[in-house]
Amino acid sequence: MKKIDLFKKYMKQHEQLWSCPICQNSMTVRDNHVVCAENHSFDLAKKGYVNMMTQPVHTKYDKELFEARHCIIESGMYKPLHEKITELINANSTVVDLGCGEGSHLAHIREKADGEIIGVGLDIAKEGVMTAAKHHLDTIWCVGDLAQVPFKDSSFDVVLNILSPANYTEFKRLLTDQGIVIKVVPNSGYLKELREAFYEQDEYDNHDTKQRFQENMEKVQQERITYKFPMTADLLPSLIKMTPLTWNAKKQDDLDISEVTIDLDILIGER
């Protein structure tokens, strides 16, 4: 079966989730399109994703960055994070990853979960969603805007937001009554070896980000996860390419990084 046919089948199974980003009506899968009652139509791409943007957006996040990020995540660098998040998700949940990038975080979390997890990933960067669709099947991959997420109210048991900007109005709209937001933010030590190498400083403060989460969500819990991950010469180029930390850096040669620090806060809250 072709990739677009597999994707169309999965979309059809879960079309009750969709809300037209233009008129907010329900949507159905018809041929190779997602269509609402007002005939607003969005094409299913042959590569296994749907673009729900109402106008084109260009970002600095390109194919090379997302392939590098895929390589790093597949190396196991975030495995302890994925295991911890999986512990927070009930079996048979419907999960949306908002700001999914190239999709590997969601894919690994679903693989480790007990029971079936319905997975939806959304990102404004088309190259990221295309990379996700290339590597991971049985997931709804969507190019979409976090300011106007094309899904119905109260559709998701879990909203994931991993190292990505937040929109708490949309998060709360999308959650079921007992649903949770799981937001992952970098802590002071996260990838400090890169900051030291490129900027000769390693200071980072996530206080404002955590405060906004606490102001917007209820019953907030927080867990910190920190560990070292060995860095090989083969992986180092992908690490450098995958993060905006190095976009404006001048020196990228002769780096001697044998390990990197993963230092993250996992924030959990209800609407």
Note down the domain range covering 146: 48-247+255-270
CATH of the domain at 91: 3.40.50.150
Q: Domain total for the chain?
A: 1
Binding residues for S-adenosyl-L-methionine: 78, 102-103, 190
Instruction: Give the distance, in angstroms, between the CA of residue 269 and the centroid of all CA atoms in the same chain.
Output: 17
| CB of 134 closer than 8 Å to CB of 63 | no
pLDDT tens for residues 10-53? 999 999 999 999 999 999 999 999 999 999 999 999 999 999 99
pTM of structure: 0.95
137 within a domain of the structure (yes/no):
yes
201 within a domain of the structure (yes/no):
yes
The C-alpha atoms of residue 142 and residue 49 are separated, in whole angstroms, by 6
122 within a domain of the structure (yes/no):
yes
234 within a domain of the structure (yes/no):
yes
Binding residues for Zn(2+): 20, 23, 36, 40
| CB of 149 closer than 8 Å to CB of 124 | no
Binding residues: 20, 23, 36, 40, 78, 102-103, 190
16 within a domain of the structure (yes/no):
no
pLDDT tens for residues 230-252? 999 999 999 999 987 777 655 55
